[in-house]
Structure 1
Amino acid sequence: MRELVYTGFMSVDGVVDSPGGGPGEEHRSGGWVAHDFLPEAFALKGEELADTTALLFGRRSYEAFAPVWRDSEDHAAYKELPKYVLSSTLPDDALVDGWGPTTILRSSAEVAALKETAGGAIFIHGSAETARRLSDAGLIDRYHLLVFPVLLGAGKRLFSTADRDGQRLRLRESEAYKNGVLKVIYEVVR
């Protein structure tokens, strides 16, 4: 069974949207990861690449990342990886050309079926709403988080506020950096 891994930047109060800022960002505190930049705190992103065999996005994150990452030197290693977009609304003709093989999945059940196929880890970047949906469905196996020492108040949150059974996490790895950023890798206990 393939692992489904969420990777992302998160504020201490759980906000995951608009970490990089820039055009199209709706969060008024967009760009919150740029404060006190420390390269070793971002080393996790390079480490993940060795485990990444496919990428999964929600529709909005795909539409934001695909045209930029396709031509980005920083994301060149992702170019030919298989990509999946979980969306009930994205038309097939909206897929970005020249960014490797991309498949639209129309339901969480299709994500569950993908996890049953041969291959390695599938990483979710951005896509907070998709991650919440897949977490609520019991499909996420691991969380790779860089937690930034900032409280944002409003914004999209990674974890659901639904009244549901608790889900235990096991700390696999952690590290604290001098700028206050924490790297935490949690495995979902089943």
Structure 2
Amino acid sequence: MREIVYTGFMSLDGVVDSPGGGAGEDHRSAGWVFKDIEFRPEAFALKSEELAETSALMFGKRSYAAFAPYWRESDDHAAYKDLPKYVVSSTITEDEVLDGWGETTILRSTDDVAKLRESDGGAIFIHGSAELARRLSDAGLIDRYHLLVFPLLLGAGKSIFSDADRDKQMLRLRESAGYPNGIVKLIYDVV
């Protein structure tokens, strides 16, 4: 069985919306990862550490549309280029899949994601894609969270956590670290 891992930047109040501030990000505080908080390379080392474990990437339709054009051309994301990608969407068309960014498979449903998770292979990392993360978490399909929590409250925006009335879900801390700029790394396994 493959693990599905959500990785992302999060404000202390749980917002993951528009951290980078690039095209297509319309949150009023877009770009909050790079504003007002001292850059410390050690706080972002998690991103390069994840790459050694990543066998594929998964996105919702909107995050795929935002990331694919930029990451395909980015030297910082060159290692992602040849990884398989999965886009979970009931509406995306083959014409919307970007050429030149590796093999991309469209998954039409949560059931398709569950089948993929049951297959052989390594960890699949979800970037962005808050709505997808909520849906997969509610279906019990997220195995781990890799979070960099920033010391700010955004007050509004998308969260990866659902407010659905559901049974409690336990997490087990795998790793944590705090940095002088206030960012906290939290890695949790879903029990």
2: CA distance, partners of 1:4 / 1:161? 21
Report the equivalent of 1:166: 168
User: What is the CA RMSD across the aligned residues, in angstroms?
Assistant: 0.6
2: CA distance, partners of 1:164 / 1:187? 19
1: CA distance, partners of 2:107 / 2:61? 10
1: CA distance, partners of 2:15 / 2:142? 18
Report the equivalent of 1:37: 39
Matches within 5 A, 1:21-60: 21-34=21-34, 35-60=37-62
- What is the identity, as a one-letter code, of the residue corresponding to 2:14? G
SS at match of 1:132: helix
TM-score, normalization by structure 1? 0.98
TM-score, normalization by structure 2? 0.98
1: CA distance, partners of 2:81 / 2:30? 26
Does structure 1 retain, via aligned residues, the 8 Å contact 2:23–2:66? no
Report the equivalent of 1:140: 142
Report the equivalent of 1:2: 2
Report the equivalent of 1:78: 80
Tell me by how many angstroms 1:24 deviates: 2.4
2: CA distance, partners of 1:16 / 1:61? 12
SS at match of 2:173: strand
Tell me by how many angstroms 1:23 deviates: 3.1
SS at match of 2:86: strand
Report the equivalent of 2:129: 127
Report the equivalent of 1:89: 91
Identity score, percent: 75
SS at match of 2:73: coil
1: CA distance, partners of 2:24 / 2:80? 23
Tell me by how many angstroms 1:181 deviates: 0.2
- What is the identity, as a one-letter code, of the residue corresponding to 1:160? S
Q: Deviations over 1:104-154 (max 9, x none)?
A: 000000000001111100000000000000000000000000000000001
Number of residues paired by the alignment?
189
2: CA distance, partners of 1:109 / 1:79? 26
